[in-house]
């Protein structure tokens, strides 16, 4: 599957955000935090798998604690965008927390696809916290690449 190079290097902006999150955790480990309070984490984003088949792509996103009403899905040319918000289930009571590692907040994941699917053929299902998006390849994208022979100079 051919993806265009990213301005943010290998792994794109997702990799950069993950590196920043790890750096924040190291700083908190070194200097401590004020208190273990529940926090809205702006860096939360769902884990995504992309699988290519002969007929298209299957994208799965883990969205635990969310429902299909919490998610918006769109296709614009060759870009698939998944966005939504995972809301905190806790009450406003800030007392009593020892550890809170689950993350909440809004997210946007955009994936550049190796082809532009027809939006009316894209299918999406949501079951048990997993979004599955099926993107069929258009007929022109299913053609195999032509191999070109390389000859020595001279």
**Which strands make up the sheet holding 130-136, listed edge to edge?**
48-52, 56-62, 130-136, 123-127
Q: How do residues 117-138 score in pLDDT, each as one tens digit?
A: 999 999 999 999 999 999 999 8
Out of 29-38, 53-62, 113-122, pick the least confident: 29-38
Q: Count CA atoms within 13 Å of residue 81 on its CB side.
A: 10
For tokens 């699917």, the residue is 117
Structural domains present in the chain: 12-91+98-140 (2.60.40.790)
In this prediction the pTM is 0.62
Cα separation, 128 vs 96, in Å, equals 30
Give CB contacts under 8 A, 24+ apart, made by 3-6.
3/112, 3/114, 4/112
Q: What is the pLDDT of residue 132?
A: 97
Out of 48-52, 87-91, 106-110, pick the least confident: 87-91
CB atoms near residue 135 (< 10 Å): 25
């Amino acid at each position: 599957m051919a993806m265009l190079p990213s301005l943010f290097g290998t792994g794109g902006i997702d990799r950069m955000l993950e590196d920043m999150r790890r750096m924040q955790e190291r700083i908190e480990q070194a200097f401590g935090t004020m208190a273990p309070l529940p926090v809205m984490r702006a860096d939360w984003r769902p884990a995504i798998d992309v699988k290519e088949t002969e007929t298209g792509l299957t994208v799965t996103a883990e969205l635990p604690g969310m429902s299909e009403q919490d998610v918006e899905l769109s296709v614009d040319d060759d870009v698939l965008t998944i966005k939504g918000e995972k809301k905190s289930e806790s009450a406003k009571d800030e007392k009593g927390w020892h550890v809170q590692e689950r993350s909440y907040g809004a997210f946007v994941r955009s994936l550049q696809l190796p082809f532009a699917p027809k939006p009316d053929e894209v299918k999406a299902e949501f079951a048990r916290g997993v979004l599955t998006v099926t993107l069929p390849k258009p007929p022109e994208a299913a053609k195999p690449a032509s191999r070109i022979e390389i000859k020595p100079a001279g």
